[in-house]
Structure 1
Amino acid sequence: MTPVRERRLGIRRSIAVLFGAAALVGVAVAPASAGSGVSPCRSACDGQDPSSYVHYGQTCAADAQTIDTHYVQGRTVQLRYSNRCETSWARVYGADFPDVIRVQNIDTYQIQNRELRQGEHEAWTPMVDDSGSRSKACWWVGWATNNNECTSAY
């Protein structure tokens, strides 16, 4: 083999090793979608009920976490988040008619409201897309008042 051919072969091997190493590093650091190995539903989940909307065989509520809780006038207001779906919603306990709860994506201005019905004391809003943004949960004593309380944004 001539010295030129040996040098070309060496360069090709070096390039192959570099590409192989880059591929291994890329595989090692590639993030999993929503931490669950499935693609999040994001905006496809907007307006859906987290307890009944099924995404890849599981409801969004199944992996939900309470991100923040706010206590006000005997009510427990929670901001809930699904890592699998990358969505948020508001949930309230100890509420009563005509209370209103809201989840708001404060970066995209998406809002979902839920007015409690007579006799209801627990409720949750439909979901909003929360991928790469922040949301908060709020509570009102009916629509006609400015008396509201919110969780911190997450």
Structure 2
Amino acid sequence: MRRVLAGAAAVLAAVCGAVGPARAVGGGPEADLAYHGAASLADGRVKVRFTPGNFGPSAVPDATVRLRWSRALTDAQTLPAGCARSEPRAVLCRVGALAADAVGERIGLRVRLLGAPSEVLLQIDTVWSGGTVDRNRQNDRQRVLVLATGDDYYF
């Protein structure tokens, strides 16, 4: 377990760089990040795919998003490049740079939850935005209740 956590910490440092709050205090450039996509749950497996966007007015040099589930994840996870486990119920994924008024690369991952719950609450939010200030936090914070139907639930 210690090796897993140490490895996750190394990947986390690479994904996030010098992690700071998305809500920078003061006068950094302003950007408006948003995440839209879908999630599904079946047999304890959650599939999430979303596209980040920036409504501007400034570009974002780099960003990191956190995906947090209301249930713990199993210890063994296969995550895509740019994503790292950050706690028992959360994963961080590098969004990368986003030009103003542009969408980024689609991010997709699958995680396995402990047990086979009938539902899970997924929360997505920006944890780092490269020094830009996002005064509209409504669209970069998503919450979606995903039922174990195998159906897509959109956010």
Question: Would the TM-score normalized by the shorter structure come out above 0.5?
Answer: no
**TM range, smaller chain:** 0.3 to 0.5
User: Which one has more relative contact order, counting CA pairs under 8 Å at least 6 apart?
Assistant: 2
TM-score normalised over the length of structure 2: 0.35
Per the normalisation by structure 1, the TM-score is: 0.35
